[in-house]
Structure 1
Amino acid sequence: MLKHTDIWRAIDRLAAQHGFSASGLARRAGLDPTTFNKSKRTTSDGKLRWPSTESISKVLDATGASLSEFVTLVGDGTGTNPLQRVPVIGYAQAGSAGYFDDAGFPAGSGWDELLFPSLGDPHAYALEISGDSMEPVYRDGDTIIVSPAAQIRRNDRVVVRTRGGEVMAKQLIRETATKIELLSINHAHPDRSIPLSDVAWMARIIWASQ
C-alpha cells in the first residue's frame, strides 16, 4: 500500500538528484520554500499529510522528470520497489458498455498502462479526464487513479457509474440506505442525488497525476 512517507521520500530523492535540498527544490519549482519542510508533512494534530498533486507536478516540470521517473524514486530504501501496472481508460470509454464488469473492474485487455507504486489493489485503474466538469481540481488531460477496493468515507472524491452508463467524478457528501448525495467538484455543474438502485458502482479516487 502506498504510504505518505513513500511520496515524501521520493521528493527528497528527486531534490538530491538535482543538487537541491527539499526547500531548494520547492523554490526552484516556484513554490513556497517551506512547502516540503518536515513540519509540513504532518498536521498540527500529528496526522500524516500528503503532498499536493499540484506541488508534485510543479517539481516534475522544474526538474524535467517524468511521472514514471518519479515513481522509481518511491520505495523503502531496501532496494525493492514494487510497481504495479495500472490500466489507463479514457473517461468517455468508462461510460460505454463492456469496459467494466459488474464489480466496477476494467474488463478485457490491451489497455495503455502506467507504472505506479503498489496500491494494494490489483484492480486499480486510471481514468483520463476530458472536459471541464471537474475543474479546477481536475483538468482536461489529467489522470486520476481509482481504487475499487478502497474504503469510501464521507467527503471522499469518488467516481460513480450509473446503470444507464453515466460516469461522473464527485465528492461524496452522504450515503443512506436508499441514495447517495454527491457534491460537484466544479460548482458550475449541479450536485446530484442518485438512488442506490441506479448506481452500478462507486470507487474512491486515490491519486491524481497532472
Structure 2
Amino acid sequence: MIKHAEIWRAIDRLAARHGLSASGLAKRGGLDPTTFNRSKRVTHDGKLRWPSTESLAKVLEATNSTFADLVALAGDGPVGQAAPVHVQRVPVIGYAQAGSDGFFDDAGYPVGNGWDELEFPHLGDPNAYALEISGDSMEPLYRDGDVIIVSPGASVRRGDRVVVRTREGEVMAKQLARLTANRLELQSLNKAHPDRTLAMTEVAWMARILWASQ
C-alpha cells in the first residue's frame, strides 16, 4: 500500500513535472490553492492527513495523468526516476450484482469468473475488486457510472468510506461513523439519504473503499 509520505512526494513530483508548485497544481485542478500545502499534510495535533480521492482525481484529470503515473512518482529515487509499477488485474462488478446471491462468499470476496477487468497499481489485496456505481444514493461524492476500488482485506477505521452488504442483500456505500462488537453506525454520503445503524448480526460484510475513478 502507498504510504503517507509517498503520496505527498508523488503530488510534489507531479506538480514539478508540469512546472508547477503544489499550490499551482491545486489551482490547475480547480481546488483551493492551499489544498496541497505542507501545513495541510499533518494536523495541529500531529495526525497524518491524506489528500482526498476527489482532489487527486481532479489534478490527475487536469494534468492528463493516471493513478499509475502518480504511483510511479512515489518512489525514493530522483524526481525524474519513476518507481516500478506492479499492476493488478481487478474484476469489475456491477452495483446490482453486489446485492445478488452467488457473487460473493461469506467474507465479501467476489467469486466466479467472467468479470470485466481493469488494470490497477498493486493494492496489496488479491481480493480487491472494482464496483461500478448505479443510482444517486452516493452523490455528490460518487455518481452513476463511477467506479470505486474496494478492498475486503483492508482494515477499517472511523471516517473511512466503506461498502456494506446486509444479509438481506442490500448494498450501500457510506462513511464509517462507529463500529462496536454489536453495532455498526454509518453516515450517509448523500444527505438526502438517511444515516444507518445496523446490528452486526445484520451485516454480511464490510469493505473499505480505496479509490474512486471518476
TM-score, length-scaled by structure 2: 0.84
Judged with a 3 Å threshold, the aligned counterparts in structure 2 of structure 1 residues 176 and 204 are, in CA distance, closer, same or farther, namely: same
Shift of residue 187, structure 1, vs aligned partner: 1.9
What SS does the corresponding residue of 1:92 show, helix, strand or coil?
helix
Instruction: Point out where structure 1 has 5 or more consecutive residues left out of the alignment.
Output: none
Distance 2:123 2:66 in 1: 19
Post-superposition Cα deviations, 1:77-123, rounded to whole Å, max 9, x if no partner, equal: 38433333332222122112221111111112233333333332221
Aligned to 1:91: 95
- What is the aligned length? 210
Shift of residue 19, structure 1, vs aligned partner: 2.3
Superposed, 1:58-137 pairs within 5 Å as 58-77=58-77, 79-137=83-141
Shift of residue 45, structure 1, vs aligned partner: 2.1
What SS does the corresponding residue of 2:27 show, helix, strand or coil?
helix
Superposed, 1:109-188 pairs within 5 Å as 109-188=113-192
Judged with a 3 Å threshold, the aligned counterparts in structure 2 of structure 1 residues 44 and 132 are, in CA distance, closer, same or farther, namely: same
In structure 1, give the amino acid aligned to 2:204.
A
**Farther off after superposition, 190-199 or 72-81:** 72-81
- 1:22 matched to 2:22? The reply is yes
Judged with a 3 Å threshold, the aligned counterparts in structure 2 of structure 1 residues 24 and 103 are, in CA distance, closer, same or farther, namely: same
- 1:190 matched to 2:190? The reply is no
Judged with a 3 Å threshold, the aligned counterparts in structure 2 of structure 1 residues 4 and 83 are, in CA distance, closer, same or farther, namely: farther
Distance 1:36 1:204 in 2: 24
Distance 1:71 1:41 in 2: 18
Contact 1:71 1:116 in 2 (8 A): no
Distance 1:76 1:100 in 2: 38
Distance 1:84 1:198 in 2: 32
Aligned to 1:12: 12
Distance 2:140 2:49 in 1: 21
Distance 1:8 1:69 in 2: 14
What SS does the corresponding residue of 2:191 show, helix, strand or coil?
coil
- 1:202 matched to 2:206? The reply is yes
In structure 2, give the amino acid aligned to 1:102.
D
In structure 2, give the amino acid aligned to 1:187.
K
The RMSD of aligned alpha carbons is 2.3
Judged with a 3 Å threshold, the aligned counterparts in structure 2 of structure 1 residues 113 and 184 are, in CA distance, closer, same or farther, namely: same
TM-score, length-scaled by structure 1: 0.85
Instruction: Point out where structure 2 has 5 or more consecutive residues left out of the alignment.
Output: none
Seq. identity, %: 72
Shift of residue 2, structure 1, vs aligned partner: 1.9
Distance 1:47 1:39 in 2: 12
Distance 1:129 1:139 in 2: 7
Spell out structure 1 runs of 4+ moving beyond 6 A: none
Judged with a 3 Å threshold, the aligned counterparts in structure 2 of structure 1 residues 87 and 9 are, in CA distance, closer, same or farther, namely: farther
Contact 1:2 1:120 in 2 (8 A): no
In structure 2, give the amino acid aligned to 1:117.
P
